[in-house]
Every structure is written in structure tokens, then in C-alpha cells.
């Protein structure tokens, strides 16, 4: 069997998770974890009895494979009955409920894990299930109906996450049966998982079959680059390459691979020129979300391969997050999942954060959404990173200085939590490096900033953080390279990085560039800091008259900064020497 071949089989899949697990954890972590362990012991004993194999777990979720549909139904029902009896014998804070979904279908085997439509539909049925209940597909029902003593309710066809399934409930004592054929509003069923991306093999549009290696290489590099971002799950290469050469609609590929979005493209070579096209397609409705074309010379074929694969990954993520935000706009607040809340918070961050103080009302909504995301999924690393990023910005805002100590402690806690959850997430590692920046442990700051960059050299944020870490070593020319690279990588979000450019050029004593950036940023938002900086810059440029004008404006806007010693306390450390050298000759106490 070659590396590209895929192992498929028919399997009986059992999926379960705990009802309101995040809420229980928020109330009492210790008792919740004790209860989960006790319930897992019951589950493990039953799995051993009915010859089941756990192939994946995530937090409170368990995915298992059974050899028999009948055994799966009996085991699931027996488990719910045992949990119901356990709940009667323990205090309310130790009680726990589970949902279970059962399906039989085609799965992809990768090592000990299983993927594909068979698993995805079991997960959808689990979402459909009542607390304390078992929901199953028609295929499971057909296998088990006449071989078990249980009774079933036919729920009819149900639409769950744009998939139509014929579902049944097992009638369990103590659980009120749902009406036969009832339509269950799955739009209010929340899921905390980010969407999954599948990168399909790019098509070789040239007549030269020898170019196939290059085409496959571009596809593999895009998969590797997307995977290194850690924001969204990416389907493994082996799975997507099994469809190479097949003309299948993105919506069908999404169903078969369990993917929400499909990346597809083509490559055409002519002489010493090459054209690469790529697009991102929503697998739910076959609608194109994003597309781009590159025309390049083949002077260095591997350089072209690296450039295009990195740029595809860099451009896809903002497009995908934008599409996901559109999806949640019409959802009611009560139905928002952890991922939904994170996306809403991210949208507010992107809209209000360009180097200036955000509106306080927007600030509150932002933090409420981050907290809601974390409460619903305590392991959602992205939510901790996003909240930490805003807290870090607040540390340097004059309006938040009365909370400086509190915010520093909160930032250290959030950044460490994000890093602990996923030390391979470049955004989490970069945020953790900033914790050492605040502690003035610059060697550790540089170490973790470099680690974040190594995890994903195409990540704009990692380039930005590494650039600033280099500034602590006064390696300003190197820093400038990485900071400008970050802005080139993220043309849409570059304003978030431009706000820091005056710091760099003042530290480099480049007064002309410092003044240029101060003027640009002041026009975007008239913050008092720019007047103080321009006063110092004009002194270095020899224009004392303008320097005094801007210093007067600054002191009028910041009356609490009475002396040059007061200013030293608020001056950015990276360029403090430059600022003090400029302001000292004209500052009159």
C-alpha cells in the first residue's frame, strides 16, 4: 500500500459528551472533574463488556468504535440508565448528564483514529440527543430494532448543520419521549468547534506530466502552512489526496471529508512562466469565499512554491474568519457557541483597535464575549489569546493606568493559560513572550518570540513580536525587517502594527521617519502621546519653535505630567533616551 492510499471501512460510531460541562467547570472544577472520572469509570467498564474501543477524546467528549450496532445501542442505553441511578445517589453538585449519538457509516482510518462522514454524523446525532438520551441513525435502528427489547421514537428527518438525517430516540425510563416525527430546531444547538479546512490536490493544467511533482508540492506546502496556524483544523494530506483527479463538487467533498471549507486550485506552466490560481469555497453551499491568481517567473521554482503556499495560508484566514462572522450575525445570543462568541469578539477587536483607545462600551462587550467563549469552552486557546491581546494594549493606555497592576496580573494569567493549552500555537507563544517583556526578562522574551516565529514563519503576528523582541537587544535594523514583513503579510490588518512604528524610528534616532509616522497616526486618532513625541522629534530636527508648540499642546492635554521626571515614568522604554534628550532642553517645570 502506498503512502497516498486511504484505508476505509464501515464502522459503528458512539459519540458522547457532558451536558453543560463548561458551566459545571465554572461552578466547581474539582467536583466536576471527580464526577467525570466516576462516570468515565462506568463507561470504561461497559466498553470492556461490549468490546468497544475509544479512538478519540477531547475534554468531556468521547468517541468510540463498536463491532456491532446492537452492542452499541445496548451499551449506550445501559450507560444512561446507570448514570441516572448514580445521579439519584449523589448531591446535586456531583450530578452529571450525557448526550449520546450512534451511527454506522463509512470512515477513514488513520493510525488509531477514525475520520469522515460516519464519525461526523454520529457527532451530529449526539448534538440532537436529549440530555440523558440516546439518538441514533436509521441505519443503526434497522440493525438493532428487532434484536433488542427497547422501544424507539421515530423523529423523522432532521436537519443538523446543513445535513439531513433520519433520526430515532431510544425510549429511556424517566426521560420524556419526544413526539414521533417532531421537528427539532437544531439552529439553537450550539457547537464550539472551529470550522475544518480541506486542501484538495491542485490541478495540473499543463500538458507536461513532469510538472505533477511541482503541483503536488504546492498543495502539500499549503497544507503544512495552514496547519501551522493552529486556528482551524486542517484535513490530513492522505485524506485529501485520495480524491486526486476526481471531479467532485466541494459540497460533496465537505460531506465525505467532514470539512466546512475547501481550498482548491490549478497550476499552468508555459515556457518560463507559471500561473497559479487558488480559491476558498464554502462546502455548505459551493459559494466561493475568496480567490487569487499569481503569475510568476520560474527562475527559482522552489522560491515560487514557498512564496505562493505561504501567501495562500496568510490570505485565507482573514477571509475565512470574515465568512464565519457573517454566519453568526443572525444567531440569537443564547445560541452562540464558544467559537461564535470568540468570532464576535474578534470582529469588535478588528473594528476598534488601530492604536487608539477603543470605545468603553465596545470594550465591555468585547470582554463579555471573550469571557462567554471561555466559560463555554475553557480550552479555547484563541479566546485567551484575544483577551490577553486587548489587556496588553490597555496597559499602555492612559485611561486605564489606574488598573495597571490588576491588568498586568490578568495578562500574565491569560498568556500563561493560552500557552499551557497549546504551546504549539504561535499566537499563544507570542503572547506568552510578552509576559516576559513586562517582567523585563528580555532573554526569555526573545526566546519565546523566536519560538513563535519558528512555529509559523508566515504568521504576521509572530514576525511583529519577534521584531519587537529584537528591539530590546537594540538590534533595530533586524527588527525593522521583521516589522515591515509583518505589515506586508497582513495588508488588511497592518494598521494594528503601524501604530508602533514611531517607537522603532525614535529608537533608531531616525527623526524624519519618526515625524512622518507620528503625523500619519495623529491624523487617524488625535492622541496626546503624539504631541509629546513630536515635541521631542522637532528638537532633534533643530526646530525649537515647533517643538515648544507641541509640548504646550501635550502638557495642556496631560496636566498630570507636570515635570520631566513625571514624563520619564510614562515614556516608552524602547525610545525613552531619545524622548528625554529631546524634551529636557525645552521642558520648563
Q: Across the strands, what pairs with 265?
A: 278
On the question of pLDDT at 427 being above 70, the answer is: yes
Residue with cell 468531556: 60
Classify the C-alpha dihedral 546-551-552-557 as positive or negative: positive
Spacing of C-alpha 577 from chain mean position: 39
Model confidence pLDDT, tens digit, residues 349-382 = 876 654 445 567 778 888 998 998 888 888 888 8
Higher pLDDT, 141 or 159: 141
**pLDDT given for residue 189 in this prediction:** 46
The DSSP H or E segment spanning 134 is strand 134-137
**CB 101 within 8 Å of CB 72:** no
Lowest mean pLDDT among 283-292, 356-365, 522-531, 545-554: 356-365
The set of residues, in sequence order, having a beta carbon less than 8 Å from that of 390 and lying 6+ positions away, is 349, 353, 363, 366, 367, 370
Residue with cell 494569567: 413
The DSSP H or E segment spanning 169 is strand 163-170
The set of residues, in sequence order, having a beta carbon less than 8 Å from that of 517 and lying 6+ positions away, is 498, 501, 502, 505
**pLDDT given for residue 377 in this prediction:** 82
On the question of pLDDT at 317 being above 50, the answer is: yes
The DSSP H or E segment spanning 294 is strand 287-297
Model confidence pLDDT, tens digit, residues 110-155 = 778 888 888 888 988 998 899 999 999 999 999 998 899 899 999 8
Model confidence pLDDT, tens digit, residues 263-289 = 999 988 877 788 889 898 988 888 888
**pLDDT given for residue 285 in this prediction:** 82
Mean pLDDT of 93-104: 93
**pLDDT given for residue 102 in this prediction:** 96
pTM given for the model:
0.55
CATH 3.30.420.40 describes domain 7-188: no
Topology of the domain covering 197-324: Rossmann fold (3.40.50)
Model confidence pLDDT, tens digit, residues 443-473 = 999 999 999 998 888 788 889 999 999 998 8
Spacing of C-alpha 224 from chain mean position: 16
CA angle 342-343-349, nearest 5°?
90
- Tell me the domain boundaries of the chain: 7-188, 197-324, 331-422, 510-589
Residue with cell 486550485: 265
Between CA 471 and CA 146 the distance in angstroms is 73
Burial class of residue 516, CB neighbours in 10 A (0-12, 13-18, 19+): middle
Q: Across the strands, what pairs with 204?
A: 267
CA angle 515-517-521, nearest 5°?
120
Spacing of C-alpha 357 from chain mean position: 25
**CB 322 within 8 Å of CB 282:** no
Kindly provide the b/e burial profile for residues 384-409, where b requires at least 16 CB atoms within 10 angstroms of the residue's own CB: bbbbbbbbbbbbebeebeeeeeebbe
Q: Is 558 helix (H, G, I), strand (E, B) or coil?
A: coil
Amino acid at each position: 500500500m502506498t503512502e497516498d492510499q486511504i484505508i476505509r471501512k464501515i464502522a459503528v460510531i458512539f459519540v458522547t459528551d457532558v451536558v453543560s460541562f463548561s458551566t459545571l467547570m465554572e461552578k466547581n472544577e474539582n467536583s466536576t472533574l471527580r464526577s467525570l472520572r466516576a462516570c468515565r469509570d462506568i463507561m470504561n467498564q461497559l466498553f470492556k463488556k461490549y468490546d468497544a474501543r475509544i479512538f478519540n477524546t477531547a475534554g468531556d467528549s468521547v468517541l468510540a468504535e463498536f463491532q456491532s450496532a446492537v452492542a452499541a445501542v445496548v451499551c449506550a442505553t445501559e450507560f444512561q440508565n446507570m448514570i441516572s441511578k448514580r445521579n439519584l445517589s449523589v448531591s446535586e453538585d456531583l450530578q452529571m448528564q450525557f448526550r449520546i449519538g450512534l451511527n454506522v457509516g463509512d470512515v477513514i482510518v488513520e493510525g488509531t483514529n477514525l475520520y469522515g462522514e460516519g464519525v461526523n454524523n454520529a457527532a451530529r446525532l449526539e448534538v440532537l440527543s436529549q440530555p440523558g438520551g440516546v439518538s441514533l441513525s436509521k441505519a443503526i435502528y434497522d440493525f438493532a430494532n428487532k434484536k433488542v427489547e427497547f422501544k424507539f421514537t421515530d423523529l423523522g428527518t432532521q436537519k443538523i448543520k446543513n445535513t439531513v438525517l433520519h433520526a430515532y430516540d431510544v425510549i429511556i425510563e424517566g426521560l420524556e419521549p419526544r413526539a414521533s416525527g417532531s421537528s427539532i430546531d437544531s439552529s439553537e444547538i450550539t457547537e464550539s468547534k472551529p470550522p475544518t479546512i480541506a486542501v484538495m490536490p491542485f490541478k495540473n493544467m499543463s500538458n507536461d506530466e513532469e510538472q505533477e511533482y511541482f503541483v503536488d508540492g504546492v498543495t502539500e506546502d499549503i497544507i503544512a502552512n495552514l496547519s501551522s496556524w493552529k486556528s482551524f483544523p486542517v484535513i490530513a494530506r492522505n485524506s485529501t489526496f485520495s480524491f486526486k483527479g476526481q471531479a467532485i463538487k466541494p459540497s460533496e467533498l465537505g460531506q465525505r471529508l467532514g470539512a466546512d471549507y475547501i481550498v482548491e486550485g490549478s497550476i499552468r506552466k508555459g515556457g518560463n512562466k507559471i500561473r497559479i490560481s487558488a480559491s476558498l469555497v464554502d462546502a455548505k453551499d459551493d459559494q466561493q469565499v475568496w480567490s487569487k491568481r499569481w503569475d510568476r517567473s520560474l527562475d527559482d521554482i522552489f522560491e515560487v512554491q514557498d512564496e505562493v503556499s505561504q501567501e495562500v495560508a496568510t490570505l485565507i484566514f482573514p477571509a475565512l474568519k470574515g465568512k464565519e462572522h457573517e454566519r453568526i450575525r443572525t444567531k440569537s445570543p443564547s445560541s452562540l457557541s464558544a467559537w461564535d462568541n470568540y468570532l464576535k469578539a474578534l470582529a469588535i477587536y478588528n473594528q476598534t483597535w488601530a492604536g487608539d483607545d477603543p470605545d468603553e462600551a465596545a470594550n465591555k462587550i468585547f470582554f463579555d464575549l471573550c469571557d462567554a467563549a471561555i466559560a463555554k469552552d475553557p480550552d479555547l486557546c484563541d479566546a485567551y489569546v484575544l483577551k490577553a491581546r486587548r489587556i496588553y494594549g490597555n496597559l499602555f493606555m492612559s485611561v486605564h493606568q489606574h488598573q495597571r497592576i490588576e491588568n498586568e496580573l490578568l495578562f500574565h494569567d491569560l498568556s500563561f493559560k493560552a500557552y499551557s493549552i497549546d504551546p504549539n500555537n504561535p499566537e499563544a507563544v507570542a503572547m506568552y513572550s510578552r509576559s516576559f517583556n513586562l517582567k523585563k526578562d528580555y532573554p526569555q522574551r526573545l526566546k519565546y518570540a523566536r519560538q513563535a516565529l519558528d512555529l509559523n514563519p508566515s504568521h504576521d503576528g509572530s514576525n511583529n513580536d519577534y521584531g519587537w523582541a529584537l528591539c530590546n537587544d537594540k538590534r533595530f535594523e533586524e527588527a525593522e525587517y521583521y516589522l515591515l514583513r509583518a505589515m506586508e503579510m497582513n495588508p488588511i490588518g497592518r494598521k494594528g502594527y503601524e501604530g508602533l512604528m514611531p517607537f522603532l524610528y525614535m529608537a533608531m534616532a531616525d527623526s524624519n521617519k519618526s515625524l512622518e509616522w507620528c503625523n500619519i497616526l495623529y491624523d487617524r486618532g488625535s492622541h496626546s502621546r503624539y504631541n509629546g513625541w513630536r515635541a521631542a522629534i522637532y528638537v532633534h530636527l533643530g526646530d525649537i519653535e515647533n517643538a515648544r508648540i507641541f509640548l504646550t499642546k501635550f502638557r495642556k492635554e496631560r496636566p498630570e505630567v507636570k515635570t520631566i521626571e513625571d514624563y520619564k515614568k510614562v515614556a516608552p522604554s524602547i525610545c525613552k533616551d531619545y524622548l528625554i534628550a529631546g524634551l529636557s532642553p525645552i521642558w520648563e517645570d
